[in-house]
Amino acid sequence: MTPYVPPIADFNFLLYDVFGVDEEWPDRSAAIDKELANSILNECGRVAQDVMAPLSSSADREGAKWDDGKVSAPTGFKQAFDVLTEGGWLGTAGNPEFGGQGMPKALTTAVEEMFWGANTNLWLYAALTSGATYCIDAHASNELKARFLPAMYDGRWTGAMALTESHAGTDLGMMRTRAEHLEGGTYAITGTKIFITSGEHDLAENIVHLVLARIEGAPQGTRGISLFLVPKYLVNDQGELGERNGFASGSIEHKMGIRGSATSVINYEGAKGYLIGEANAGLRCMFTMMNYARVSVGVQGLGLSERAYQMASSYAKERLQGRAPTGPVKEQGAADPIIEHPDVRRMLLTQRALTEGSRAFAVFAAVQLDRAEHPDPGVSGVALRYVELLTPIVKAFISDRAMEASLLAQQCFGGHGYIVESEIEQVVRDVRISQIYEGTNGIQALDLLGRKVLQDGGNTLAELVADLRQAELDRSYATKVSEVLDLWLEATEWLRNSAGSNPSIVGAAAVDYLSLAGYAIYAWLWARMSLLDDGSLGKSNLARFYFDQLLPRSEYHANVIKNGSDSVTLPNSDWF
């Protein structure tokens, strides 16, 4: 097995040289400085490399197990999870008032990437907890925060998100789970949810579900959905565990990938739940968690993309096949390493340019998340608008590029990449889910174009592009960056003018529009990184490859958008 190597040097470059986050941290918290941040990154890398990564392939082979409602995580996960909880890794970004560590999102994004890359299956048992705590902290009563957040930050209790029902996936307005009022803010929750990641397992003593349900008599559709906190074990005012609540795992799914992560069907039978936020405002509350989860899923894809590249790069330097086109490199041997072949180098460079571009984008988005909490409303207001705009791109574009990069990594292995022992096929299977859950990437594209861009007339996008143009870039690429940003704005204006008379154009163009946006942002990032690298990280090589080989894709997507929707909408549905 190729050892996992945490990309700490790249994080340091992005955090301090590219984005200068250490200069902004004093505005947020005096408890974080560069020295402490580096200690956190190094310790995280150690845990990822030594504790988590060695369990990844065995967890895939063994999988999670279900027995009469009881769910068991793979062998070794409990001990590794205890290392995570004892190290405080589940509470890194949490509210310090309730026991969290309050770290900046720019730093916790780096932490998450390393944990996702080392062992996605294990980190999935922890990751939903962070999203749940964000939601509870933002919308729950102080009493619920005090009762549940400390133990969740400690990792003694974990979190889960229960939205989906068998008949209602993206269309949450169709959900049937109901809530019967008991007293005060408590309700009895009854219904069945599917695809509940970490909804039941044996790694923590309690699991806190955030459940969407409809209070009896509430309006139909999404206007009548409320959000409830439903713990596996009831908790008294002193935070002590009481009796088992009325829900259980009816089964776990048998999945293409992430097999060590338990995904349950959960049956709620009069389970006691506590209303979070106002009645019928559940979607607004839940989107706090979902937006966090969508960024995290993008970072999940990024972590696996990095893992795939490391495996492919190592293999390409060892595998001997054929001769380099310019002549033998290993004259005394029977063949040269396949890394000498231009097509293999093309695949490796594509993987690395996309992966390191994705890392830069993830940190850029995290910086905006941190600025959204700035005490100056002028700073926070702009950043919050940028976060809303960027979130669907982070989720969809990074995970799409991660799938592409992982498939290229598998291709580098040739036939061996299709064999289980190579372990690269597991990465391909594991990364696939990142394009699907927390809102499929098609839904992200519709959200970006329909809601985030067109609904505000493209004003936030124009503001973001204007800000990007102010940054100093490598002059070799500044013109190309300006051109692709113009292309993005031109496509936006064309769609604004077309959407009023063509109701299908948004749906037909959305995926290409999101891809165009992603390639434009990566162009800006690569021009910025190429300028600031001192040569030790090879960013200039990757920037040249990106602008020569990958950025031309943006013109393709712009052309597809302007070809309109007729070829998509004209065939009769029965023809399919």
* Residues labelled as active-site residues: 438
- Closest by CA to 418, choosing from 432, 433, 428, is 428
Contact 551, 430 (CB under 8 A): no
| Rounded distance between C-alpha atoms, residue 87 and residue 93, angstroms | 13
Query: Residue 87: phi, psi to the nearest 5?
Result: -85, -5
Q: For tokens 């749940």, what's the residue?
A: 132
Contact 97, 105 (CB under 8 A): no
Between helices 120-139 and 105-118, what is the axis angle to 10°? 150
Helices then strands, counting H and E runs in the chain, come out as 19, 11
| Rounded distance between C-alpha atoms, residue 554 and residue 568, angstroms | 20
- Closest by CA to 528, choosing from 549, 547, 515, is 547
**Structure-derived torsion over alpha carbons of residues 515, 517, 521, 524, reported in degrees to the nearest 10:** 110
Beta partners for residue 159, in sequence order: 208
* Tally of CA atoms within 13 A in the half-sphere of 541 that contains its CB: 10
Tokens of 556: 């393709």
| Rounded distance between C-alpha atoms, residue 142 and residue 148, angstroms | 10
Q: If 0-12 CB within 10 Å is exposed, 13-18 middle and 19+ buried, where does residue 466 land? A: exposed
| Rounded distance between C-alpha atoms, residue 57 and residue 154, angstroms | 27
- How far CA 532 is from CA of 183, 216, 362, in Å, comes to 60, 58, 18
| Rounded distance between C-alpha atoms, residue 67 and residue 262, angstroms | 12
Q: H or E stretch including 109?
A: helix 105-118
Contact 320, 337 (CB under 8 A): yes
Q: H or E stretch including 137?
A: helix 120-139
Q: For tokens 């169709």, what's the residue?
A: 174
| Rounded distance between C-alpha atoms, residue 40 and residue 45, angstroms | 8
| Rounded distance between C-alpha atoms, residue 374 and residue 523, angstroms | 28
Contact 355, 477 (CB under 8 A): no
First to last CA, the chain: 45
